[in-house]
């Protein structure tokens, strides 16, 4: 069952998602002396990360963070680099206190997927911060998503709808400039998270939200898989929630 929470606007959505995540991180540190999390990128995460790094009473030196995905062949200096995004909006504001394991897509993608897979298998993930794409993707698992692989990270091919979204959000000047492949956390790895926090603003994602929440669980609508997760909280605002019955 998905816990759906609607906030009045994108700013309050991000604040609420970060508050819930911060509570989960504090609880994990209190219970185990450490916490492991997954952080995401993209326009849906601006306010989430802004509020998360400002959260009080978190000992970030006890937190290990992984990230969801990165483009294959993407230099860290590129404005669309997810490593750059998280370095600037997450790692640097915390003064480097958090142990962050970025994905480096510049070299051998298959080898990098294996490297970060080996790292994340040593951790039980307490909270995963993520969003839903316009094509209902979860991370870069575009439709039809692989619901079966046990590999934590995989190399994927991005579909046109996904690539158009990246261009439409202003990360790339043309569709041709958007990479065609990425290293993505797999569906099954995401589902291993104790808590999944999905932050989904904007009307352009309203159909994807409807498909994820009210449609059947189907690889053609990858985010629908969270219907089978025992502890997913979906944060919406009026525009992204507008198609829900």
The pLDDT tens digits of the residues spanning 81-133 come to 999 999 999 999 999 999 999 999 999 999 999 999 999 999 999 999 999 99
86 assigned to some structural domain: yes
CATH number reported for the structural domain that contains residue 172 in this entry = 3.40.50.1360
244 assigned to some structural domain: no
Buried-exposed string 52-63: b where 16+ CB fall within 10 A, e elsewhere:
bbeeeebebebb
pLDDT one-digit tens code per residue, 161-201 = 999 999 988 899 999 999 999 999 999 999 999 999 999 99
153 assigned to some structural domain: yes
Strands 99-101 and 127-130: unpaired
d(CA 102, CA 116): 8
190 assigned to some structural domain: yes
pLDDT classification of 1: cutoffs 50, 70, 90: confident
d(CA 165, CA 55): 30
d(CA 65, CA 52): 13
Number of domains in the chain: 1
Residue 245: predicted pLDDT: 79
d(CA 186, CA 9): 30
177 assigned to some structural domain: yes
Coil, strand, or helix at residue 83? helix
Is residue 78 over pLDDT 90? yes
pLDDT classification of 220: cutoffs 50, 70, 90: very high
102 assigned to some structural domain: yes
10-32 helix and 46-53 helix, angle to the nearest 10 degrees: 40
Q: Give pTM, 2 decimals.
A: 0.96
231 assigned to some structural domain: yes
pLDDT one-digit tens code per residue, 12-22 = 999 999 999 99
Query: Region 71-82: what's the mean pLDDT?
Result: 94
241 assigned to some structural domain: no
Q: Which range marks the domain in which residue 70 is found?
A: 2-236
DSSP class of 90: I
d(CA 15, CA 47): 7
């Amino acid at each position: 069952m998905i816990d759906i929470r609607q906030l009045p606007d994108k700013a309050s959505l991000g604040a609420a998602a970060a508050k819930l995540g911060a509570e989960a991180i504090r609880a994990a540190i209190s219970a185990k002396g450490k916490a492991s999390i997954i952080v995401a990128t993209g326009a849906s995460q601006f306010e989430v990360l802004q509020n998360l790094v400002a959260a009080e009473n978190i000992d970030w030196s006890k937190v290990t963070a992984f990230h969801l995905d990165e483009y294959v062949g993407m230099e860290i200096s590129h404005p669309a680099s997810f490593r750059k995004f998280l370095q600037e909006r997450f790692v640097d504001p915390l003064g480097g206190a958090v142990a962050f394991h970025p994905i480096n897509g510049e070299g051998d993608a298959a080898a990098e997927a294996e490297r970060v897979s080996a790292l994340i298998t040593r951790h039980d993930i307490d909270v995963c911060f993520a969003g839903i794409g316009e094509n209902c993707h979860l991370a870069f698992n575009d439709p039809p998503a692989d619901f079966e692989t046990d590999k934590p990270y995989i190399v994927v091919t991005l579909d046109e709808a996904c690539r158009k979204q990246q261009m439409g959000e202003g990360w790339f000047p043309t569709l041709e400039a958007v990479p065609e492949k990425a290293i993505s956390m797999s569906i099954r790895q995401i589902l291993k998270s104790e808590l999944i926090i999905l932050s989904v603003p904007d009307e352009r994602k309203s159909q994807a939200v409807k498909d994820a929440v009210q449609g059947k669980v189907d690889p053609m609508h990858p985010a629908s898989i969270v219907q089978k997760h025992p502890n997913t909280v979906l944060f919406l605002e009026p525009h992204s929630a507008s198609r829900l019955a």
